[in-house]
Structure 1
Amino acid sequence: MAAGMVFRIVVGVDGSDSSLAALEWALDEARLRSGQVHIVTAWHYPVIGDAAGRAEDHEAFGDNARNVHAEALRRASEAGVTVTGEVTEGHPAEALLKAAAGADLLVVGSRGHGGFVGMLLGSVSSHAVHHAQCPVVVVRSGAESVQG
């Protein structure tokens, strides 16, 4: 990181306990480094059986993601660091990698659920570790906070 540049942390939040622990870890790290946090909530509507799906079901997935994201922003607003965010439709792992382009650090939970397909069984954290262009921190729920 060049002198005068702000340390930029991207964190994935899907509403699961481990993603909320990742958010807290990212906020703690940003405080220690006088950095900023960018929260990414990505959602993917599953195509199962009827490929067309129902428009209201698709909309409900998006609404759920926006609600999860709003709650993450609310929690982060009390952290005393600059926080930005985005909600995006698409595969969570790819959305996080895109958002983390040029970031100093990517933070993800070890296992997601939060009702979003693609955040199951640690597939997103595994993909991030193997493909991100910046360092990746994987946080378990119940993990200790950064101490400063």
Structure 2
Amino acid sequence: MTGSDSFAIVVGVDGSGQSLAALDWAITEARLRRGRIHVITAWFYPPLASEVGDGVIDDSFRLAAERVQAAALSAATDAGVPVTGRVVENSPATALLHAAGDADLVVVGSRGHGAFAGLRLGSVSSQVAHHAPCSVLIVRPRAD
């Protein structure tokens, strides 16, 4: 970050409760630092999806990602934070790591919509924590 740039935060949002908590944290941090947020929502077809049925690929994954993205952008805009966003057809970790190249901070939830609900740290947050070129904040759920 140079002296004239604002603090840049990349946040991954997949619609899960923990990703929405990450978005809330990123909004608060952007306000405090007079920064900006770049929301990444990644989607991809499950393995073999294109080989099932008559070969027509259902757009529901992309449409769901676009709805999640629109809600995230709206939340940041309503909070008065400069925000941009992108829906990416790629693995979430790859999309976030690519976006992190121009960021000062990446914020992710500790788990998203992955298959293993009992894990404390998801594969995306683990990959981002180990490979991001900038600082990473992993938002965990509040203890009861």
CA distance in 2, matches of 1:44, 1:37: 23
- TM norm structure 2: 0.88
Q: In structure 1, what is the equivalent of residue 56 of structure 2? A: 55
Q: For 1:46, what is the secondary structure of its paired residue?
A: coil
| 2:88 counterpart letter in structure 1 | T
1:47 shift after superposition: 1.3
The answer on whether the counterparts of 2:11 and 2:40 sit within 8 Å (CA) in structure 1 is yes
CA distance in 2, matches of 1:3, 1:76: 24
1:89 shift after superposition: 0.5
Whether 1:92 aligns to 2:92 is: yes
Whether 1:7 aligns to 2:3 is: no
Q: In structure 1, what is the equivalent of residue 110 of structure 2? A: 110
Q: In structure 2, what is the equivalent of residue 127 of structure 1? A: 127
The answer for unaligned runs of 5 or more in structure 1 is: 144-148
| 1:112 counterpart letter in structure 2 | G
Q: In structure 1, what is the equivalent of residue 68 of structure 2? A: 68
Q: For 2:101, what is the secondary structure of its paired residue?
A: coil
Q: In structure 1, what is the equivalent of residue 33 of structure 2? A: 33
CA distance in 2, matches of 1:119, 1:64: 21
| 2:19 counterpart letter in structure 1 | S
- TM norm structure 1: 0.85
Q: In structure 2, what is the equivalent of residue 23 of structure 1? A: 23
1:140 shift after superposition: 1.6
Once the two structures are superposed, residues 71-126 of structure 1 have per-residue CA deviations (whole angstroms, 9 ceiling, x without a partner) of 1111111111100000010110000000111210000000001xxx6897510000
Paired positions, count:
138
Identity %: 55
1:44 shift after superposition: 1.4
The answer for unaligned runs of 5 or more in structure 2 is: none
The answer on whether the counterparts of 2:50 and 2:56 sit within 8 Å (CA) in structure 1 is no
| 1:55 counterpart letter in structure 2 | V
1:141 shift after superposition: 3.1
Q: For 2:21, what is the secondary structure of its paired residue?
A: helix
The answer on whether the counterparts of 1:21 and 1:142 sit within 8 Å (CA) in structure 2 is no
1:29 shift after superposition: 0.3
CA distance in 1, matches of 2:35, 2:9: 7
CA distance in 1, matches of 2:116, 2:5: 32
Q: In structure 2, what is the equivalent of residue 42 of structure 1? A: 42
